[in-house]
Structure 1
Amino acid sequence: MDEHRENSPDHLTIRVQAQDDPVSRVTEQDTAEASVRYPHVVIRGPVFGFAEQRPEDGPRWRLLSDMDSGFPQHARDGLNSYLWFMARDDTEDRTLRRRLLAAVARLETEPVDEVSVGDTRYRVVRGDEFARIGPDGLEPPRPTDPEPPGPLSWGLGDRSVSRTKGFVIDHAAAVGFMTGIQRVELLSLAYRAARYPEEVRADSLRALQTHPGVVLLPAAFAFAEEKEDSWEPVCVSLPTPHDARRSMVNHLKEIRPMLYDVPPDEAEEDARAAEEYLTTTPRGNELRVRGRCFRIVRVERLIRVGPGGPETSRPSDWDPEPPMRLHPVMDEFGNIVRD
């Protein structure tokens, strides 16, 4: 295996290694059963984040954010802020601060997907969210998916720690047998349906050649509403099933009546159903109210990898906002310059 890795490019190498510990064995069995019950994949759409590559990392990149931005510019803005606060708070080196602020200046005026600060590269990274589906609908959380320990908290400020931020994108790292099989199956995943614009389909098929490898991120979770012939996601992807359950309860009790013109009797019925859910089935994966069905769903994400590392945004990715200045001007001494 080691010799194979040395002789093959990392972005084309999938190394499978036996996982002998009890937790891994149960997780592998869970994955195998899910692949039978939910054999099909539906693409939810692209997501974006940003990552860094340091000289000591070799070909590997480390995510510095969640992969939860819907547009490339949102991820560029996140990188802009990350570098600005690093310049303000994390260094007294004037040379490094100048380099950080030069990168910030570019991100304020240009829709660039990569900047360098010294020997460190920063890149906007593109991924795809997808879910698995079977005869009974979208896949719910698996028994081995992470749940918060101890008493459950329903306060919105208690979101779990991200399992994506800090993730190392290493295509050649050893994975379990089922994960290896999944990655092989996903190598050809692309936007092929006629409902996608022609340029989206063309870019997606081109990416199979330019970035032929795939890396799976830790699973995330959301809640979706069942429609007549589909499932409609209602919230962003969150770190654990309980985060998605908490979001679902808050949506029915607070968000929906605040944002939509909901008749008072319907709002009261939704709130009662949400309250009953959190007191009687707080780890349940479905909530039904007024003939509507909401389900906690498992969301998977992949990043395509090529010889130069993870894929950045595509020309056809929708990007409705331009770059702009997000923070005050700072000088090389760390002083804020008032306009």
Structure 2
Amino acid sequence: MNAYGEGLPAYRTIRMTVQDGPIAAFADEEAWRARERYPTIVGMGLPAFVGAKESEQGGWEILRSAGDTPQSVRDSLGSYFRGLAKEASAAGRAADREKYRAAYEKLDRVAVDELRVLGTRYRVVRVEQFIRLGPDGPEPPRPSDPDPGEVGEAHRLPSRVEGFVIDPYTGTGMAEGLLKFDLMQFVLKAGTAPPEMRGDSLRAVETHPGGVLLPAEFAIAECGKDGQWKPHSGSAPTPQAARDRLAIDFRVMKPVLRRLSDGERAEYAKAADRLDEKRGAGVSVGGLRYRVARVEQLVRIGPDGPEGPRPSDFDPDPPIEVQTREQGEEGVADDGDDESSAELAADMREMKRLLDKEEARRAAWKQRKKTKGSQPGADAG
């Protein structure tokens, strides 16, 4: 028996099961507390996208980490098929190589969101992202959320969604099941988005009424002087990966883009140091508050599997061969604005200098930590 009655397909059911093990039980308990402390759910903004293949065992396996546009995932799938073609060639499977080659060549020419290659379906899958809000702002990472990786090194860790199987039949804890139900009802409100985006949102509830939660990710939220929170960055796989992005923003990007003075640069550098040292959820600098916010992720499911890109989704870039042809037809434009070009070049040189300085600082920091850890008695006390 399920919430809709007997006989409904798996994609329209929510299987809630007892979670095995103390860690899973603790995570479910945290999710219950989050419903009380952060009761409001808001869309993060633009969706993310992943490439996935249909699995013989059921569900769809995510192949690569997320991209911010459908075309970025099409390009990633093209790279994936190039790798498969190379493996097939090395193994002497010429027919398979040609199939994979046809797939990546098609992706180079056409903005296609699904292909069937050697009997397997591949698809660009849409991922909706949400943040919980409470009286004190967005929900920060939970104690049970994995946060591996040293400071500055979290980007080297494998993606948490790569290899994840999108399967609505997989059971969840009670709290996650209720969250899934809440997110599946989410639609853009009138007046908060262009009519075509709201129309696509309303249709998705009908065409893809099921859903699967992906592992949570983490983004930086920013609170202005008006007390309103807004997204500052896209999502990252772990809290530390989000902190690292913010630290780079403070040490490299903001000094150049905001033309900070030496005193302001020092203030932002100290804020980045606090992020590195405390590995906390928030920091304040320049009159603004920043927080690592937990991002819930949902893939909508319909009778034919996970939802693909919507017509209204932001997708500005054409396939690579179309871009190359258009650039060749247009030629190299010269707007004659030498002053703007020189300013841009100067900004890029300054960012490169600051990035080199940051890499040197991190290398020195790691060496000091390594040396301290190797000293006798370093672990005592």
* Same structural fold, with TM-score higher than 0.5 when normalized by the shorter chain: yes
Pairs within 5 Å for 1:1-339: 7-44=7-44, 45-54=46-55, 56-58=56-58, 60-67=59-66, 69-91=67-89, 92-148=92-148, 153-156=150-153, 158-227=155-224, 228-279=226-277, 282-325=278-321
Q: CA deviation at 1:179?
A: 1.1
Q: CA deviation at 1:157?
A: 6.7
State the identity as a percent: 41
Deviations 1:206-253 (A, max 9, x none): 010100001110000121211225323232211111111222222211
Q: CA deviation at 1:184?
A: 1.4
- Tell me, what secondary structure is at the counterpart of 2:320? coil
Contact 2:88 2:94 in 1 (8 A): no
Q: 1:325 to 1:6 in 2, by over 3 A?
A: farther
Mapped to 1, the partners of 2:35 and 2:154 lie a distance apart of 34
Considering only aligned residues, what root-mean-square deviation do their CA atoms show, in Å? Answer: 2.1
Q: CA deviation at 1:19?
A: 1.5
Mapped to 1, the partners of 2:187 and 2:297 lie a distance apart of 13
Which structure: larger Rg? 2
Q: Which residue of 1 aligns with 2:362?
A: none
Q: 1:159 to 1:208 in 2, by over 3 A?
A: same
Q: CA deviation at 1:32?
A: 0.4
Q: CA deviation at 1:153?
A: 2.0
Q: 1:312 to 1:22 in 2, by over 3 A?
A: same
- Code of the aligned partner of 2:186: L
- Code of the aligned partner of 1:266: E
Contact 2:82 2:101 in 1 (8 A): yes
Gaps of 5+ in 2: 323-381
Q: Structure 2 length normalisation: TM-score?
A: 0.79
Structure number with higher relative contact order (C-alpha < 8 Å, ≥ 6 residues apart): 1
Contact 2:88 2:96 in 1 (8 A): no
- Code of the aligned partner of 1:185: D
Contact 1:217 1:302 in 2 (8 A): yes
Gaps of 5+ in 1: 327-339
Q: 1:49 to 1:264 in 2, by over 3 A?
A: same
Mapped to 1, the partners of 2:154 and 2:38 lie a distance apart of 33
- Code of the aligned partner of 1:216: L
- Code of the aligned partner of 1:32: W
Worse-superposed segment, 301-310 or 101-110? 101-110
- Tell me which protein shows more helix as a share of its residues: 2
Work out the number of aligned pairs and report it: 317
Q: CA deviation at 1:158?
A: 4.6
Q: Structure 1 length normalisation: TM-score?
A: 0.88
Q: 1:158 to 1:184 in 2, by over 3 A?
A: closer
- Tell me, what secondary structure is at the counterpart of 1:82? helix
Mapped to 2, the partners of 1:79 and 1:87 lie a distance apart of 12
Q: 1:24 to 1:110 in 2, by over 3 A?
A: same
